[in-house]
Chains A and B, each alone.
Chain A
Amino acid sequence: MTHLPILPILLPLVGGAAALFVEHRRYGTRIQRIVSWLFMLATLAAALALFATADGDQVLVYLLGDWPSRLGIVLMVDRLSALMVLTTALLGAACLLHACSGWDRRAPHFHALFQLQLAGLAGAFLTGDIFNLFVFFEVMLIASYGLMLSGGRGVRMSAGLHYVAFNITASTLFLIALGLIYGLLGSLNMAELSERIAQVAPETRPLVQAALGLLLVVFCAKAALLPMYLWLPEAYTRAPAAVAALFAIMTKVGVYASLRVGSLWFGPEAGAFAGFGQAWIVPAAVAGLGLSALGVLAAARLRVLVAYLVIASASTLFIAFGLDTPEATAAGMYYMVHSCFVAAALFMIADLVRRGRGDASSDIRELIAPPAMRRTAGVMYLVAAVAVAGLPPLSGFIGKTAILAATPAADMDWAWTAILAGSFMVIVGLTRAGSRIFWRTGTLNEAEAAAAGKRPPLRLTESTAIALLLALAVAMSLLAAPLLAYTQAAAEQLRAAPGYLETVRDTLPAWRHP
């Protein structure tokens, strides 16, 4: 049995512990950064190796502690989870680079929390056990509370209180759903549950529906679907830039979880539960796309605008996965990866523009990009905006076109209208913000000029981090054909969900014989 599947979780966990050891003043930031980067690069290498390994038809099953799957917890690696782990690692590297421009010195325990967050994210993508998914959600969330709040004060604290209270409530609902599921179905292994859900007796069906519905509500709350997105703009705009950029993938964890659960439990062979929940998720996603596009139009600050873009991309993904064809799912996966990178880049650019202004207003109507960084930041904003809005030739265009092309004829009316109208409003909002910030000339007043003189206009690490993310988006556009072929294979693999159960059952412990 190869130990590769555990590495993307184990390496950042060890890295988090190691980062705590070198936190003392006598080591200095340099050693801390070296340790953090060592583990980051090792995680990236493990994610790449996993990505290469998963590109076969075999679903890898890893038995934790060598316990057979009916007793212990399993990790499952298929193409989708390997792709998401790789995305996490790439995004994490860019965020770490950005944080190394100075934020990591201002926020206590930054490196340890950052590594733990990576471990939680990788675990959530890899686990094959629903209770273990809860545990990794918590690891990820607890680290995110620390990352968001350490080094902050004032308004950030109250925004953090909302974020924490909301997420704890959602986690409590998750636990209630898990208690009901175990009580009713007697298992927590996701593959095992798929068989038991298909065989539920008609008299217990309403109760099982309630438990599974609660679970979907939790995933949608994490993914910021329509009625439950109100926490997101405030939390993401108050987080420091490197952290907000990493948070761009946190909503995708909710989308991933509902896609995973949907393909395993609510596939065509699930009988009465086939397509469960889609009847209200898809309309909510359509309405959410419209509302978040309005949010983009109405945003008064650049970071609020980006936060609404994150909600819009999650809603687009729910629409794509709700279309329920392998082609649409494949296109959605491509779009999911692309939107992580581009949203993260936009969060960093927003911070760059705002920082040059010192404590002055960050309202788009008053904000003018400082002259020193106007050209670089403007070009970066242009590339990111073209990619995120879905204009040719960048990855957003390819992703959205693939989703539109994969729409079945019956769903064409509402899906095309929603996605195209949403994109149009997003383009208008981005154009307005860009032209106001980068094209308007104006003089800085005294306080701003003093602030701009005091701060270094453009740090190399920051612009490298943004350039790295944008380069990833450009690479995704250039390599669109192989990537789409990969996601197509991943979607086909998800379709063949019954095979997961056999693989899980057939995986025997290597040396334990209970």
Chain B
Amino acid sequence: MELALASAIGVLVFAGVYLLLRARSFDVILGLTLLSYATNLLIFSSGRLVSGKPPVLKPGLEADLANYTDPLPQALVLTAIVIGFAMTAVVIVLAMRSRGDNDSDHVDAEEPIAREQQERELLVRERQQQKGDRP
């Protein structure tokens, strides 16, 4: 079980970091989401993986970790899920607004190729002007 969980976290982090480094804001948001899933699993596993034991006290069972699973990581992971969820919503709204305002889904709000093309056209035009001035 440890191996499965550890490799799941690893794959999620791998995919998350890869997507985070891409240039489209949609990919970046997906990357952030995957990273936060990986983090939630990691926090959850920090209380050790125990199966079939409750995190709440039961009458008649002695209150130690032999009979229960650690409740604190579960509380922490709940907080982390809520905050991560809210952040995803904020960043999605932001990305949509940025796309609407700047007409581009690129994280820098402008297409590098389009800009290069513009600069090239400007250069060509300047050269033509210089040619026209000379004679």
Contact = CB atoms under 8 A, between A and B. Distances in A.
Contacts of B48: 183
Contacts of B98: 157-158, 160-161
Nearest to B43: A179
B61 interface: no
A160 B46 contact: no
Interface in B66-100: 72-73, 76, 79-80, 83-84, 86-87, 90-91, 94-95, 97-98
Contacts of B94: 145, 149, 157, 160-161, 164
Contacts of B36: 172, 175
Contacts of B28: 165
Contacts of A172: 32, 35-36, 39, 84
Contacts of A160: 94, 98
Contacts of A381: none
Interface string A109-135: 000000000000000000000010001
Contacts, number: 90
Contacts of B101: 153-154, 157
Interface string A159-201: 0111011001101100110111011000010000000000000
For the residues of A in contact with B, the DSSP-based class is helix
A227 B98 CA distance: 26
Contacts of A153: 97, 101
Contact of B79 (A135, A158, A176): A135
A155 B104 CA distance: 11
Interface of B: 20, 25, 28, 32, 35-36, 39, 42-43, 45-48, 72-73, 76, 79-80, 83-84, 86-87, 90-91, 94-95, 97-98, 101-102, 107-109
14 contacts: A135-B83, A138-B87, A157-B97, A157-B109, A158-B98, A161-B107, A168-B87, A172-B32, A175-B36, A176-B39, A178-B43, A182-B43, A182-B76, A183-B45
Interface of A: 131, 135, 138, 142, 145, 149, 153-155, 157-158, 160-162, 164-165, 168-169, 171-172, 175-176, 178-180, 182-183, 188
